A and B are shown apart, each in its own frame.
Chain A
Amino acid sequence: MKSFFKKIGRKQKTEGKISSSQNVITAPLSASQLLPTITVNESFSPSQLVVGSSQSVGKHRDHNEDSIVTFSITIGNGTNNQPLGLFIVADGMGGYQYGEVASNVAARTVASFLIKKFHPVIADATVTLDESLQEIMKNAVKEAQLAVVKSAPGSGTTLTAVLVHGQQMTIAHVGDSRAYSIQPNGKVEPLTRDHTLVRRLEELGQITSDEAAVHPQRNVLYRALGQDDFLEADIFTTPFPQPGYLFICSDGLWGVVSDAEISKIISESINIQAACQSLVAAANAAGGPDNISAILVNLLS
């Protein structure tokens, strides 16, 4: 009896929380608790992409050599319309501000090449493209390579470009910026592989992933856009994470924020834009050693 009243007394001391037991918090419900009630069994017409992005120069650099581009188009007229989206992160390197120029030129060249290709399709629904999407991405990367070599010789840049078409994504990737598939159950799956020496050593079994994380040359790339011997980007097509998110970022983010933290921040944020801001803030809080860029995309269909 005495212990019963003690328990009630203990409950009244907890401040601001209305709870029926000590472990369950029912107000306010977090974004992740609310998420299932919003998205389950709901379909969206027209299908559309929701995009957020955020950048920061970081804590140790004085200018930003990262470039990002986001572009999406939704056409709804009651029939079978699929959204189109293009999301690019490029991280430049090279002295005398050439890094900035390299990443900017690469991102813009890919974006304008693709927009030009899709222009007739946007203008007229009956027009279909003759070329395959992978061929178009390959040519876009080729153009970007020429442009970087021309405007910023001796420099280089990473390039991770994701073209979303319907429920699939075609990705062109070179370097160590990354694209991830983030699922509501917390799973964070990298879609691209880093073209770094340490990653190659890891793949060959020469070093472990723990050793790779602290390796003194972990940022050295063996493939980058703008290099003389650049041959080709990785180009592949994979389904858009459904349910889930497409997340693209530069190494200034993934290098200091763990997968678990990325997933936690996204699930606890109130919307996509807030998630991007929080992710960039987390990278800065962890020291911000490099430029930080993040793009987060959700497909509502």
Chain B
Amino acid sequence: MKEALVAAAIKTGLLGRIYQSATTIQTSTLKPLWTFQCEDEIRGTPLYYDGGIYLGSCDNNIYSLNATNGEFVWKYATGGSIVSRPAIFDGNIFIGSEDQSLHVINVRTGKINWSYLSNGHILSSPRISDGHVFFGSDDNSLHAVNVLTGRVTWKFDAGSPIRSSPYIIDETIFVGSESGEFYAIDFRGELKWRFKAKLAITSSPMVHDGIVYFGSLDSSFYALETKGGWIVWRFRMGKGSIVSPCFAENLIFTGSADGLIYAIEARTSKVIWQFQADHQISGSPVIYKDSIYCGAANGIIYCLEYRTGRLRWMFETQGSITSAPVLFDDIVYIGSTDHRIYALLA
């Protein structure tokens, strides 16, 4: 009876923080503001835009929800699982699906505007810059599609599937591939330089101050100089990583299948702190105010102080977390493979 009441309270978001018992750590003192249940796993990161949450699911749909109360607004059905993060541009949501297409949907109505067909599943998240949408596909190419015409401007052959999401800065596109190759490509689709890790680079890179950072399944985390591709430093973790790093105040944050969340000094590769979670770190971290939020394969999202690594709270979902949370206005939105998206107080 009690469980049923608590479950109902979770669904309607009526209960605030409940203190259940002294023996459990912060896990059970946190109750979500709201949750929304899809018909299958949520593996991708949601997008927050203008009061709405846009979320893809393995049930083939992209959902538009009200960010304040989780109310359903619209959904659009594609032909395959959606595991990537949507992008927003000019009133349209761009999202790739395992049905091999990139779908461009009106953000208010949920109606399709146009779509673009690649030759493979799309697991990489689209990024928009300079009038083009860039994304990788399992057809071994990085596609550059004009957002006005919907036509492909160029395709870059990476030789193996691209599941990492491209990072664009200074007219250069940085992206990794499943065979361990890492590419820096210019806006004409020409290769600037390449680098090879021993195993897949599924992690999405990020650039700060002329250095590009990313992890690989070969257990290393790399810092490469963006102009020539020199390895500035290489940090060895216990196991492989698919985590996409984030940056704050001279620190790079990442995680690995060894269960650790690392805070690494960006200029020297020294570990400032590391946090041992109970399972592989499969989600990607995000920084918001003084904290870092990161999910793990045991379904727990951890909130730590980013300067010290001290645990502030943790919340357990019923599946695994393979995505990054998104934060807005002191609320953290996180999806889990238990089919639900949770809105928690940050």
Tell me the A residues contacting B by CB distance below 8 Å: 80, 82, 128-129, 131-135, 165-168, 170, 235-239
Contacts and interface: CB of A to CB of B under 8 A. Distances in A.
Contact of B227 (A82, A133, A134, A135): A82
A80 B191 CA distance: 10
B114 to A, nearest CB: 35
Contacts of A128: 195, 229
Given A80-B227, A166-B228, A236 B193 contact: no
Contact of A168 (B232, B234, B269): B232
A236 B232 CA distance: 9
3 smallest A-B Cβ distances: which pairs?
A166-B227, A132-B231, A236-B267
Given A132-B234, A168-B227, 20 more contacts: A82-B228, A129-B231, A132-B223, A132-B233, A133-B225, A134-B232, A135-B233, A135-B234, A165-B225, A165-B230, A166-B210, A166-B225, A166-B228, A167-B210, A168-B210, A237-B223, A237-B225, A237-B233, A238-B267, A239-B210
A170 B232 contact: yes
Given A166-B225, A235-B268, A134 B230 contact: no
B173 to A, nearest CB: 14
Contacts of B269: 134
A165 B223 CA distance: 14
B277 interface: no
B230 to A, nearest CB: 5
Given A134-B233, A166-B228, A80 B268 contact: no
A80 B193 contact: yes
Contact of B230 (A80, A129, A238, A239): A129
Contacts of B210: 166-168, 239
Interface string B210-235: 11000000000001011111111110
B26 to A, nearest CB: 36
Given A80-B192, A80-B193, A167-B210, A131 B267 contact: no
Nearest to B232: A237
Contacts of A135: 233-234
Q: Which secondary structure dominates chain A's binding surface?
A: mixed
B228 A165 contact: yes
A61 B228 CA distance: 44
Contacts of B192: 80
B330 interface: no
Contacts of B229: 128
Given A236-B268, A237-B211, A133 B232 contact: yes
B216 to A, nearest CB: 14
B209 interface: yes
A85 to B, nearest CB: 13
17 contacts: A80-B193, A132-B223, A132-B233, A133-B232, A134-B233, A134-B268, A134-B269, A135-B233, A135-B234, A165-B228, A167-B210, A236-B268, A237-B223, A237-B233, A237-B268, A238-B267, A239-B209
User: Could you say which of B225, B230, B268 has the most chain A C-beta atoms within 10 Å of its C-beta?
Assistant: B230
A163 to B, nearest CB: 10
Nearest to B184: A80
Interface string B32-75: 00000000000000000000000000000000000000000000
A131 B229 CA distance: 12
A20 B221 CA distance: 62
A161 B193 CA distance: 27
A236 B269 CA distance: 8
Contacts of B225: 133, 165-168, 237
B228 A133 contact: no
A275 to B, nearest CB: 26
Contacts of B193: 80
A236 to B, nearest CB: 4
B271 to A, nearest CB: 14
A128 B211 CA distance: 17
A131 B231 contact: yes
A89 to B, nearest CB: 21
Contact of A167 (B223, B227, B233): B227
Contacts of A134: 232-233, 268-269
B181 to A, nearest CB: 12
Contacts of A133: 225, 230-233
A129 B195 CA distance: 10
A47 B210 CA distance: 16
A299 to B, nearest CB: 11
Nearest to A163: B230
A256 B128 CA distance: 53
Contacts of A167: 210, 225, 227
A82 B229 CA distance: 10
Nearest to B235: A132
B231 A168 contact: no
A235 B232 CA distance: 11
A141 B195 CA distance: 26
Nearest to A168: B225
A170 B269 CA distance: 12
